[in-house]
Structure 1
Amino acid sequence: MDFLESLKLSLSNLLSYKVRSFLTMLGIIIGIGAVIMMSSLGAGMKQNITGDLNKLGVGNFNISIDTSPGQTYKTEDLMTEKDIENIKKIEEVEAVSPTSSAFARIEIDGNTKMFMGTGVTEDYFKISNFTIVKGRKFLPSEYKKDGRFIIIDSSTAEQLYPDENPIGKKVTLNFKKNRYELVIVGVYKDPYSSLNFGGGGGAPSSGLIPNQFLVFINGGEQNKFEELQVKATSANSLNIAMAEVKDLMSRRGSSFDKYNVRSESSGLDQFNNILNMVTLFISGVAGISLFVGGIGVMNIMLVSVTERIREVGLRKALGARTKDILVQFLIEAVILTFFGGIIGVAIGYSLALLIGIFIKTSPILSPGVVLVCIFVSTIIGLVFGVYPAKKAAALEPMEALRTD
């Protein structure tokens, strides 16, 4: 009996017991569906969260004074404009900008909300690629100690001035005990809007302010910096630039290891690792379901062997070889798990799409994951179908025909 004939006979036998066949596949369907759902949602969330953050300059690096517990620094350890000039001389460095931030309070629709201001220089826009959607960047003359100008995020702009153009209007910020009115010259795309809480939820409003002015209102020392942000000329030269900057800074300050040089992508890598671990854990739990599903397949196939003893005996008496019986029962097991895997992929991705609507995430179905899932489900059929198939193939024709 050739393979095609065995395949037709196997399909005919399985279709004779449709409900039982489906229930046998259920464990495989649940396991594969869970893996597909989690991997699709995980890939979609990763793209959503990292996509906009990448635009903010992931791949650049920071230089900061070590302020870990037990560490102190002196005034001469603060970085200056001279340090910025020296770092810019490094061939692999494209731009350097001091970075500073301060929290304030802003009133929106009668409610007080936290506001995070970031101090910027001209080079800052080369390092962090903010997308200006309205207005403009700061003019060179606005980067001053009295530069009361601001570029706000799009979510804050919509809340402050709905249905109006915010350019040229003023926003009042409460820094500590002082109130400052700043003129809005631009609006940038809110990088956290894809996280579903930007602007109106848990995230604070944000804006860019000339660094000298922010340092002034924050009570800091002008032209003295605790942290610098640096952009390498290319992603390939990032590690070289970091090494050269680290060597340069080790010869400055009150101790050799006074300054930390850290890539901005490290935090994103940690997030990706956590997300991968969660996906792997859920996939491991789903793997248990696959194992249980495999046992279910073996159990039903053993029942099928018991029910079809006379059929096997008759076929052997008519000339069927042991190999033919073995192949037929193996094909039946593989069909169950193969189609169970396909149904699991369809159901898993459908659930991912449904959940994605509620969490505002577009699931990403990887062809590689689909192929692996179907391959694994097929292998489960082969592995767990071997014992029932061998048991059926080992039946003696005369003994089988005597069985009631």
Structure 2
Amino acid sequence: MDLKESIMLGFKQLLGNKGRTFLTMLGMFIGVGSVIMILSLGAGFKEYTKGFYSDIGLGAFQVSIKDTSSHLLITQEDLDVIESMPEIEAIKGTVWEEGSIYNRNREIKKVSLMGAEPQYTTTMKKIDLIAGRLHTEKDEQIAAKVVIVSDVFAKVILRQTNYRNILGKSIEVIVDNQIENFEIVGVYKSSAPSNASQNHLERMLTQYPLYVPKATLDIIVQNESKVFSAAGVIKEGYDQKEVTNQVRLLLNRRHAQKDNYTVSSAADMIDMANNMLNMITLFISAVAGISLVVGGIGIMNIMLVTVTERTREIGVRKALGATNKVILRQFIIESLILTVIAGVIGMLLGYIGSIVVGGMYNIQAKLTLGMIVFSVGTSTAIGLIFGVYPAYQAARLDPVDSLRYE
């Protein structure tokens, strides 16, 4: 019997008992599918993270404060000193303030306001404008009461999806126990899923701030030229970790602090996200590995049962001249067919699942060549490892005893 005949016979045997074949493959479906889902989502998330910072470049960095006591806030003098560093392209500070607003049902909702200079939204943290305009230098100079809202704000508070319709409209925001009127001049796109429910959007409302000119918010909250956070850009050719460390040390020294200021570059954030994702992937892979081992044991068990069921057939084939090698090859091929098909189906199911889950969070899942090799390679290895013993048991059966077997 040649290889082609062995493969055809293997398919015939597996199709002869479809229910048992499916149940035997189930462990492989779950194991391979779980790993492929997390790997393809991970690959898509890594691309999403890189794309998130691609507009502002990997030289972007963020300054945050652990203790936000008034005397420890970043001053304009701090920003001027940092910007004078030869490694720094630019740096701008931001002011944050909590506020609240009534929706169309007169229910009060929490919002956050960010006071930022025009350069912040064009260079430091570019926002994806989908309607209207950004703040101008004139808005900053005259402390204009203009605001850029998110699409989440438009949907939750104004119940509008045609964002051009809300441009020019006035909204009342309660800030520091007083009502402030702002004119909507722009709408920016958030990363909220397009199919998110209204309740989900409401929970995300404070994540996407209302952008107002920094001078405007300074006047409202009576801020004395101090900021709660800052963002900047490092010039090309400089080591980002070294520069961010210099900025951190400078701020701590100027405010007589040991470690109150944190400076993170975009590259650091990407590395941190990737490291976290790699840890999750490793954990999921370990759990899936257990499923694969259990599936492999199940395959070995079923193959041993198959050997018992086909004892007379083995005896007949040996009586007709089949060698131990031929019998061994036949059962290994059947085991490989079972596991490789299960691995391929598990890979497809995992990828489809990652597309569905990724679509909910605007992440495009990716299926790479390495994932395909992993699926086929793992399935083949399990087929060989757990199929050898049943095949060996079949090959060593005595033909006379096999023919007598009832």
TM-score normalised by structure 1 residue count: 0.83
Q: Does 1:369 align with 2:371?
A: yes
Instruction: Give the counterpart letter for 1:175 in structure 2.
Output: V
| Per-residue deviation, residues 163-193 of structure 1 (Å, max 9, x unmatched) | 5633333221111211111222222223445
Instruction: Give 1:142 shift.
Output: 1.8
The answer to whether 1:218 aligns with 2:224 is no
Q: In the TM superposition, what whole-angstrom CA distance separates every residue of 1:110-143 from its partner, at most 9, and x where no partner exists?
A: 2221121101013312100112222222221221
Q: Structure 1 residue 323: deviation in Å? A: 1.7
Moved more, 270-279 or 124-133: 270-279
2:197 and 2:96 map into 1 onto residues whose CA distance is 21
Deviations 1:6-25, CA, capped at 9 Å, x for gaps: 32333333333343333322
The 5 Å alignment of 1:2-401 reads 2-40=2-40, 60-67=60-67, 75=71, 78-109=73-104, 110-125=106-121, 126-144=123-141, 146-158=143-155, 159-160=157-158, 162=160, 165-192=165-192, 196=196, 200-204=201-205, 206-221=209-224, 223-234=225-236, 237-249=239-251, 251-255=253-257, 257=259, 259-263=261-265, 273=275, 276-353=278-355, 363-401=365-403
**Equivalent-residue separation in structure 1 for 2:360 and 2:243 (angstroms):** 43
Count residues with an aligned counterpart. 398
Deviation at 1:351, TM superposition (A): 4.5
Q: What stretches of structure 1 of length at least 5 have no aligned partner?
A: none
| Contact 1:36-1:369 at 8 Å conserved across structures | yes
Distance 2:99 2:57 in 1: 24
In the aligned structure 1, how far is the partner of 2:350 from the partner of 2:226?
A: 55
Partner SS for 1:130: coil
Q: Is the 8 A contact 1:172 1:181 kept in 2?
A: yes
For residue 337 of structure 1, report the CA deviation from its aligned partner: 0.9
Find the aligned partners of 1:129 and 1:354 in 2 and give their Cα distance.
29
Residues 172 and 240 (structure 1), Cα distance of their counterparts in 2 relative to 1, 3 Å cut = same
One-letter amino acid matched to 1:203: M
The answer to whether the 8 A contact 1:155-1:193 is kept is no
* Structure 1 residues 23 and 149: CA distance shift in structure 2, 3 A: closer
Moved more, 28-37 or 91-100: 28-37
Give the AA of the match of 1:168. Answer: G
Q: CA deviation at 1:334?
A: 0.8
Deviations 1:280-315 (A, max 9, x none): 444433333322221221122112222223332333
Q: Cα RMSD (Å) of the superposition?
A: 3.5
- Counterpart CA distance in 2 for 1:196 and 1:272 is 26
Partner Cα separation in structure 2 for residue 127 and residue 181 of structure 1: 27
Question: Separation in 2 of the partners of 1:322 and 1:377?
Answer: 25
Tell me how far apart the structure 2 counterparts of residues 298 and 383 of structure 1 sit (CA, whole Å): 9
Which 10-residue stretch deviates more, 341-350 or 55-64? 55-64
CA–CA separation in structure 1 for the residues paired with 2:152 and 2:56: 17
State how far apart, in whole Å, the 2-side matches of 1:224 and 1:37 are: 46
Query: What SS does structure 1 have at the residue aligned with 2:254?
Result: coil
SS of alignment partner, residue 239 of structure 1: helix
Letter aligned with residue 326 of structure 2: D
Alpha-carbon spacing, 1:356–1:152, altered in 2? closer, same or farther (3 Å): closer
Q: Which moved more, 1:226-235 or 1:304-313?
A: 226-235
- Compared CA separation, residues 302 and 180, structure 1 to 2 (3 A): same
Amino acid at match of 1:96: I
TM-score, normalised by the number of residues in structure 2: 0.83
Structure 2 alignment gaps of length 5 or more = none
